Structure 1
């Protein structure tokens, strides 16, 4: 299954398996673990930053969290008029503020395209950074990844999972997909079955 860095960022808010919501970025240690887990996805965006050695401090953690808030607000705009993820539907950042924050974060790292053309191989472009601070470069890379996603073709397939207790966004991979993963589908079908049984037992109309 294809992975997108922007989707991985918003998915740091997730169902905790016990009826609540977990935040993988709740601590600097958690942020460090998440950054290192995204090493392969980040490699194409921040090639000169030693992601495997990066240790998040509280300022970096807060920077990633605020960027996540902006991206989740824009994801909610994408899926509208369908409901957004229930994890933060009641406290979404305004869309214009979210877009401004995303663009500002991306602009903090001055970059220039460079042509790389090995003697035996095809030419390719890479980005040369003029920024020395690895924290700034990481936040800018996350912002660029979100901009790439939101302006790309995958945006049209973005959905908010409607299964009970799920708070995830996902990219729809086939025409009939309704939930982010099979377990959510099983839970949604079970909830529907229970609802029909309860309606029938109460003598009311049976929902479809």
Structure 2
């Protein structure tokens, strides 16, 4: 993982796409995937449940491939153009990889239904990520997703405020303000 770590707190699909910053890739090992999932665990029960799983290199490859399909589809949808059919189909296929069921059990007094997913941990992970992407891609708010204004940053964010310009005030906002300050002082 990068020294700053991944940007998190955005919709799940953006957090996933943001694991590929301008320099490098934050998901290069199954361990990196586990760290990223741990960062999502405060917000998502699915992430907490998957943290106990062991992920393989194949699981990591599937997540990275899905991430690329999501990124391309997102780029098109943000621009108001039709995303490639192959990217939409890849997201749809990933959603079908680990079907959700309502598992019925008897608790001693009544029947209860518990929502859970079937499939391997890797399939459950990619399904969850694909569902997050489907939700974002179909949301009209996707048109407001922005790329950070810092010249060397490619991070995406969904602005809660229309004047937000940076992926994070602590990351890029401060860096840009400090650079501007030094430029001004240099010219005085």
Please report the TM-score for the alignment, with normalisation by the length of structure 1. Answer: 0.66
Partner of 1:106: 95
Larger radius of gyration: 1
Partner of 2:34: 32
Partner of 1:77: 76
Q: What's the RMSD between the two structures over aligned residues?
A: 3.2
Q: Which runs of 4+ in 1 moved over 6 A?
A: none
CA contact (8 A) 1:159 1:169 kept: yes
CA contact (8 A) 2:34 2:51 kept: no
1:1-208 alignment, distance < 5 Å: 3-15=10-22, 21-43=23-45, 45=46, 50-80=49-79, 95-112=84-101, 127-129=115-117, 131-182=118-169, 183-188=171-176, 190=179
| Cα displacement (A) at 1:184 | 2.4
Paired residues, what number?
167
Structure 1 residues 54 and 128: alpha-carbon distance in aligned structure 2, compared to 1, 3 A threshold = closer
Give distance in 2, aligned partners of 1:126 and 1:4. Answer: 25
Please report the TM-score for the alignment, with normalisation by the length of structure 2. Answer: 0.73
CA contact (8 A) 1:4 1:41 kept: no
Give distance in 1, aligned partners of 2:154 and 2:64. Answer: 16
Partner of 1:88: none
| Cα displacement (A) at 1:134 | 1.9
What are the superposed Cα offsets for residues 135-172 of structure 1, whole Å, 9 maximum, x if unpaired? 21111111111111222243132111231110101111
Give distance in 2, aligned partners of 1:142 and 1:79. Answer: 19
Give distance in 2, aligned partners of 1:3 and 1:171. Answer: 7
What are the superposed Cα offsets for residues 11-57 of structure 1, whole Å, 9 maximum, x if unpaired? 11125xxxxx13111122212222233223441x478xx32222221
